[in-house]
Each structure stands twice: as structure tokens, then as C-alpha cells.
Amino acid sequence: MKKLTNFQRAILVSAFASLWISLTMWFTGNEMVALYVGMWTPTILSLSPFFEDRVRSKRKVKMKTKRVGKNPVGRPVGWRKHNNVAARIIKMRRRGHTIREISETMNVPKSTIHNYIKRGH
């Protein structure tokens, strides 16, 4: 069984707290308030995957950057691949290939090829 993350623990604690408050309200005589607060529990539990995905996506963005040399600014991991694609496009264009041939060969949209050629990467 996997260990729970801090986020998952917080979701479970808030759901149990909502349930506990609802039960307390019910047995003290505030039935309407208890029903209202009782609806928070399934709402919290059903929205937790949405917020968990948001937290994971932010973590992935942070993990995709790395430090290069002594440069204090992290560069995206795929920056070398991006430059290789640009270099291949420029080489193929210099050899006389049409933009259509390049886009079919490399599975790159024509607009991207035009951008690379304009910038002269």
C-alpha cells in the first residue's frame, strides 16, 4: 500500500472534519445545518483528484528544469532537442527540400517550419 502524501492527508482530514461537524450539528438539534455541512464531505472527496492533478502538474514543471553549468537560471530539459530539430529543418531547406517534404518527413507543422526559417535557427 502506498503512503499518503501530505495533500491526500489534508483532504482526508478535511473530509472527516466535515463529517464530524455534521454529526455534531445533527445530534445537537441543528438538522438543516447538519445536512448542509454533511454535503461538504462528498464534495471535498470528489474535487480532490482535480486539485491533486494541479499540484502534480506544478511539480512536473519544476522537475523539467535543470541547471546547466554555472548558469543560475534553469533551462528546460528539451532545449537541445529543440535546437536539433531547428538545425535539421535548416539543413533540409538548404539541400533544396520543399517545406511540404520537410513537414511530412519530420511530422512538424508547416507553420513551425516557417517560424524556424524566419528566425534562422
* DSSP H helices in the chain: 6-28, 31-38, 40-63, 79-94, 99-106, 110-119
- With 90 as the cut, is the pLDDT of residue 25 above it? yes
Domain boundaries, the chain: 6-64, 76-119
Give the C-alpha distances (Å, rounded to integers) separating 86 from 32, 105, 112.
Answer: 64, 14, 9
* Predicted pLDDT at 19: 93
What is d(CA 45, CA 53) in angstroms, rounded to the nearest whole number?
14
Contact criterion met (CB below 8 Å) for 110 and 103: yes
- For 113, other C-beta atoms within 10 Å of its C-beta total 21
What is d(CA 107, CA 101) in angstroms, rounded to the nearest whole number?
10
- With 80 as the cut, is the pLDDT of residue 23 above it? yes
56-110: per-residue pLDDT in tens? 665 554 444 444 444 445 544 444 455 577 778 878 888 888 888 888 887 778 8
- With 70 as the cut, is the pLDDT of residue 27 above it? yes
